[in-house]
Amino acid sequence: MGTALAAAADAAGLDFSPAQKLLVVGVCALTAGAAHMALAVFNDGVRPFMLDFIHGRATRNATGAVSFGLSAGFVFGLGAPMALSTGVLNPWLLFLPTDVLGILAPRRWLAPLLGAAWGAVVVYGLGGANELAHGLPVDFLTAMRQMSTPILFLFALFPALAVTKQFGRLRGALTGAVTLGLVVLTMRVWPGVFAGAPAMAVGVLMLIGFAVAADVRTARASGTVAAEGAGSVGPGAEDPMASLFSSGAARLRRHLPLFMALGAGVCALAQMKVFGGGEATSFLIAKGQYAEAAQVDFYRVFGFLPLIATTALASGAYGIAGFTLVYPIGYLLPNPFVAAAVGALVFALEVLALSSIGRALGRLPSVRDCSEHLRAAIGDALGLAILFGSLMAANAMGGGLGILICGGLYLLNEAMGRPVVRMAAAPAAVLAGGVALNGLYWLGLFTPVAGGPA
């Protein structure tokens, strides 16, 4: 797997075609413009703060500072290392900076220019950085490809973790056993298929099945009580949350053409196979496994759809990638023109359906809660995978000394209260450790590991 990934990444080499460069620059300009207008941001943690900004209770600079604080670690600790090691762009590298630039831009016309400038920096600057890093005595970018195996295989466990968190040990153990069995079966019977794909499919279906069954039982048990409670509410009663959600949905619908353009751009970018929506997805796209990448990103939708829907309705600011359905759809479409048309349609349907989705989530509490457990499980699985893969990369580029430096930087970050978010701390430590090992080499204090990174 590591050899195939290395060959694929070397072939990609972050060398984009003129059409791909133009699209990246255009999408970054569009996303920065949307962020400036407080219509969409990528960072889910920033979206709740947009309500105060929209209503004038927070300044542009204050909101931009919040966005920068919540995004910087992911950009430099996760987005850039993942792009350099896989040759595939990702949303942390492209869209988190355009959130910040768009919000901070003092004029509407300036925001798209700043976003376009960032897109140009990415498509023109990463290639040079990639070549420079590969020419160093200690090639830490090649070493970072060691992260692919733990990320791809541990990611397959997230449905079992989510089931355990929400429905207890017994059902969690059952889901885990099914996951393990399907991974082993796939490796034996379909060696050309990503081993985690069938396991994740069945695991997510089991989680949703448990959640729906719980909601059905709850509805049956409390049907009479709910009916009596509803009858006690006067006809003139008004739900303040429903009023707020209605206002947010109406604001988004007024800008439907902008969202359709955004959906078209993001979906076309995914179709061009230079962009991956997640950690595991980036490695799969680098290997040319587009169907498996689509499957992985499709499952992530279940974890983030309720969060994106409720925060969008409450704040009046949508997600840059919507419900992220345009990622897997884009991977599978035949050309960018079809992808643009389909992406625009998908975004239009998402925005128009937001109010209905919000009401449906209100009636399905267990299904809504399972998304929170899915997000937590994805974070746990990827956190361990990225840490373990980063230590493998440290060992590949520097042996025990590499592990000492990179592991020490990670532990120091923990001891200092995580100035770099945990998910990004380990890849950032590999980059810093690679620089340190090259410095030691030039001082004559370190000899690269024989054979170099695998």
Q: Which two tokens stand for residue 250?
A: 């109406």
- Which whole number is the average pLDDT over 301-326? 88
Whole-Å CA distances, 81 to 76, 107, 126, 429: 7, 32, 10, 10
Q: Would the pLDDT of 231 be above 50?
A: no
pLDDT number for residue 188: 92
Confidence check: pLDDT of 240 > 50: no
pLDDT at 234: 47
Mean pLDDT, residues 12-16 taken together: 67
Between residues 239 and 201, the one the model is more confident about: 201
Confidence of residue 371 (pLDDT cuts 50, 70, 90): confident
Confidence of residue 223 (pLDDT cuts 50, 70, 90): low
Q: What is the pTM of this model?
A: 0.85
pLDDT in tens, 263-293: 999 999 999 999 999 888 999 999 899 999 9
Q: Pick the residue with more confidence: 171 or 126? A: 171
CA atoms within 13 A on the CB side of 273: 18
Q: For residue 341, is pLDDT > 50?
A: yes
3-state secondary structure of 318: strand
396/58 Cα distance (integer angstroms): 48
Q: Where are the alpha helices (DSSP H) in 37-89?
A: 50-54, 60-74, 80-86
pLDDT value of residue 260: 96
| Model confidence band, residue 232 (pLDDT cutoffs 50, 70, 90) | very low
Q: Using alpha carbons, list the distances in angstroms from residue 415 to 35, 74, 390.
A: 34, 19, 19
Q: Do residues 390 and 406 make contact, with C-beta atoms less than 8 angstroms apart?
A: yes
Residues 243-266 pLDDT 10s: 556 788 888 999 999 999 999 999
Q: Model confidence over 380-412: pLDDT tens digits?
A: 999 999 999 999 999 999 999 999 999 999 999
Average pLDDT of the residues of the chain: 87
pLDDT of residue 421: 87
Q: Would you say residue 428 has pLDDT above 50? A: yes
Which of 74-83, 104-113, 358-367 has the least mean pLDDT? Answer: 358-367
Q: Give pLDDT, residue 453.
A: 55
Is pLDDT at 187 greater than 70 in this prediction? yes
Q: Are 446 and 402 in contact (CB under 8 A)?
A: no
pLDDT at 220: 81
Indicate the Cα dihedral angle 131, 136, 138, 140, nearest 10°: -20
- Name the pLDDT band for 450 (thresholds 50, 70, 90): low
Q: How many residues belong to the chain?
A: 454
Q: How far is CA 398 from CA 94, 234, 387, in A?
A: 31, 71, 16
Q: How far apart are CA 350 and CA 98, in angstroms?
A: 22
> Residue 236 pLDDT more than 50?
no
Report d(CA 124, CA 137) in Å as an integer: 24
Q: What is the mean predicted confidence (pLDDT) over 228-246? A: 50
DSSP single-letter state for residue 275: B
Q: Which residue has the higher pLDDT, 5 or 410?
A: 410
Quick count: other Cβ atoms within 10 Å of Cβ 184? 12
- Give the pLDDT confidence score for residue 225 in this predicted structure: 46
Which residue has better confidence, 75 or 302? 75
The closest alpha carbon to 394, from 151, 153, 140, 148, belongs to 140
| Structure tokens, 359 | 């009401």
Residue 41 phi/psi, 5-degree rounding, is: -135, 155
What is the end-to-end Cα distance of the chain in Å, rounded? 11
DSSP state, 235? T
